Structure 1
């Protein structure tokens, strides 16, 4: 609209009649009049407005009645379709960001806070835990569940906006490496396109190698970057990363995880019991695969610190070291015990023995040193491990993976930690990469 048009007034109802999908931007409130105007004005209103649109180059775009252009700054938009000014990440206001992960087991949303300085764990990005975003269980890998998956993303997107008043330009969406491996190419492309249509945001599928680097960035303190290798044991694969002398991520991905290895053991079991079959398959597959990767990427074995992530690492920590106590950080070179739980080779041996020989001891660890609050939390976690998350076979399979890593990466000669925050590391690492990219683009 040209500057000469700002003195004119228009009927609100006639603006609608032009085209219900048309918007004339930058109209002042006093330029839109009610239907009490004279009919002679009304007769010329529509052609006048149409002429203005044609000559000024103002186009039509799809907006909802709650588009950000029509909202106050305190009310988040109610609809999401095509509302974003760009599909890229842009820091507009505030220090909160949204991250949505589309995985093979569902859609997860996190609200992440950017701190002004490094916190005591050596990071500037943390999960904002004021309120939890609901996980939405949908099989996104199934083409028949495409509509449900896109709807889950849209609902999570709206939830983050409404509850935390986060600009849509500050929300990122990505597909996990597990989903990328399982879903057909055409199905993945369809999800990307429909998510963009539903939210206005770009969605990218990440690889297992990228996932390893994001988890690394999400958990390793600034002062531990050059001395740490991260190993994240998932259900379908094991991935990780470390930094080389040029600060470049060296990533690795191993084709086994807790659930998938348990399936492979079942296939090879024959007439022997599961424990023996798992031991055999570890010798035949796991150890050679790890050794081969270590030969190409020696930092996996030579760096002095190992950070463990993934569900089986959490089970190991919960069932063998349930009452780890917090201590105060006295210098930036120290690690808080509640954030980094020390794991020894003996803990892994105990976990394996109990998983294979003594189930009663496995699910009844000593809680005498736990606070009342921690004891209640651990008991709930043990119940989840026992009945919801792992089968007995998967616990044995996971224990064998830990034993194989312990052997090939030489845990006995290192400082090894389970990192509870690793469960949130992927969205934090992905957001960190996107923020770094946005900063570089801004500099250009």
Structure 2
């Protein structure tokens, strides 16, 4: 390794002292290749110098190598966080790839341009059992994960659509109108909007097909009237828990980690997850309980004192762990244990991260440990006030502190004490189910995983477009 870096440094010195343009296309190709290698060893300035010296030899002579040089210049300037220069070269590369009919390369440049320019806004509307949720955001790939730059994510009004009453449908329409208006004001194009009935509402209203059809028709009319170019935009009413888990995986975990990662999303009403096998087939896991449904199961009449509730919670979740969680994780889905990393999403994972690691506020992928899960459950059961009021005095970065304070406030609004106890015990049970394996596990929490299904939907479309373009020719 030492010899390799010494050789690179000697070559850089030689190229710098003999600074001349490439004399022909072949030499330009060598310059372009070496320029990209220099980027990989964190030498963007030397890479830019070499690429600029390659250009005169290929301009108007070899359109493909000219496009590659522009592309690599864009990457080098992006390494220096010079977005203006990077965009300029990416636009040039995109134009040439388009002229050459290199579909995959053109699509990749278009995606990069959208991400760097900040113009690629996406919107998702989740029509759920207890209301309608909206998120308008950008997705950036940074530090190995997809981070979300959220522009709009209002607190969803409580609208019980699963009741199927005329009033609930009317309330839902009013919320939907406001959300569609936000999408229009942010000028999100129709092909960047994804609207879906959640698995919860599909399963519940699916028992009364006429009501489900009525809700679909009411919302479809609103979409057609308020979103320009919505002819091809429809509401996805096919989501299942398994499909939601797969979209969470696609939208949260980088493709290169799919074969070594499993995902678990502990929601309010259910727990879902899964993993990809070597054939890229997704194996789903679904359990019919989540943080809030468990709290309701533990205290059906909402009459237990907090101490009585704790005892009952321990009993119920121990029973569920023995009869469902451990069976699923240890017997029914052995592939879960074969993955080295576990990506967690859902409200209770967010709560654990916010309370135990406020210093990680804003970080997309936060490492968690078995000790975190044990401590979270212990504090929820024995020292609730200490848990929900973590010490922030060491957070001297004002931006991080503000984000941590917002997280704590939002978590406390989402979960009451009984729900937090149920969720923490469920979280601990899931963590423990992963300990019965010889393969060491890395646990991470994925921030903003509640909108990963939107990111997942569009990334899936991009992946499909790339694969189709590559099938026509790897260009």
The answer to whether structure 1 residue 236 and structure 2 residue 269 are counterparts is yes
Q: Which residue of 1 aligns with 2:387?
A: 362
Q: Which residue of 1 aligns with 2:404?
A: 378
Q: Which residue of 1 aligns with 2:450?
A: 423
- C-alpha separation between the residues in 2 aligned to 1:256 and 1:221? 28
Cα 1:440/1:185, change in 2 over 3 Å: farther
Q: Which residue of 1 aligns with 2:234?
A: 202
Which of 370, 386, 394 does residue 419 from structure 2 map onto?
A: 394
Does the CA contact (< 8 Å) of 2:370 and 2:431 recur in 1? Answer: yes
Does the CA contact (< 8 Å) of 2:361 and 2:404 recur in 1? Answer: no
- C-alpha separation between the residues in 1 aligned to 2:266 and 2:198? 14
- C-alpha separation between the residues in 1 aligned to 2:280 and 2:203? 28
The answer to whether structure 1 residue 193 and structure 2 residue 217 are counterparts is yes
Q: Which residue of 2 aligns with 1:323?
A: 359
Q: CA deviation at 1:342?
A: 1.3
Q: Which residue of 2 aligns with 1:277?
A: 312
Matches within 5 A, 1:20-419: 95-113=120-138, 118-123=141-146, 127-129=148-150, 131-137=151-157, 138-144=159-165, 145-163=168-186, 165-183=187-205, 184-200=208-224, 201-205=233-237, 206-267=239-300, 273-294=308-329, 295-324=331-360, 338-371=363-396, 372-386=398-412, 388-410=413-435, 413-419=440-446
SS of the residue aligned with 2:419? helix
Q: CA deviation at 1:285?
A: 1.8
Provide Cα deviations, 1:403-424, integer angstroms capped at 9, x if missing partner.
1111112289411111113132
- C-alpha separation between the residues in 1 aligned to 2:342 and 2:333? 15
Does the CA contact (< 8 Å) of 1:122 and 1:222 recur in 2? Answer: no
Structure 2 gaps of 5+ residues are 1-109, 225-232
Q: Which has the higher contact order (CA 8 A, sep 6+)?
A: 1
Does the CA contact (< 8 Å) of 2:261 and 2:339 recur in 1? Answer: yes
Q: CA deviation at 1:382?
A: 2.5
Larger Rg: 1
Q: CA deviation at 1:246?
A: 0.8
Does the CA contact (< 8 Å) of 1:307 and 1:419 recur in 2? Answer: yes
CA RMSD of aligned residues (A): 3.0
- C-alpha separation between the residues in 1 aligned to 2:293 and 2:359? 30
Q: CA deviation at 1:202?
A: 1.5
SS of the residue aligned with 1:286? helix
Point out the more displaced range, 266-275 or 217-226.
Answer: 266-275
- C-alpha separation between the residues in 1 aligned to 2:317 and 2:156? 35
- C-alpha separation between the residues in 1 aligned to 2:184 and 2:319? 50
- C-alpha separation between the residues in 1 aligned to 2:216 and 2:462? 21
How many aligned positions are there?
A: 336
- C-alpha separation between the residues in 2 aligned to 1:378 and 1:411? 34
- C-alpha separation between the residues in 2 aligned to 1:152 and 1:270? 35
Q: CA deviation at 1:254?
A: 0.8
Q: CA deviation at 1:436?
A: 5.2
Does the CA contact (< 8 Å) of 2:259 and 2:277 recur in 1? Answer: yes
SS of the residue aligned with 2:278? coil
- C-alpha separation between the residues in 1 aligned to 2:421 and 2:195? 34
- C-alpha separation between the residues in 2 aligned to 1:438 and 1:151? 36
Does the CA contact (< 8 Å) of 2:139 and 2:455 recur in 1? Answer: no
Does the CA contact (< 8 Å) of 1:105 and 1:139 recur in 2? Answer: yes
Q: CA deviation at 1:399?
A: 1.0
Cα 1:352/1:391, change in 2 over 3 Å: same
Does the CA contact (< 8 Å) of 2:125 and 2:135 recur in 1? Answer: yes
Q: CA deviation at 1:128?
A: 4.5
Q: CA deviation at 1:147?
A: 2.7
Q: CA deviation at 1:214?
A: 0.6
SS of the residue aligned with 1:267? coil
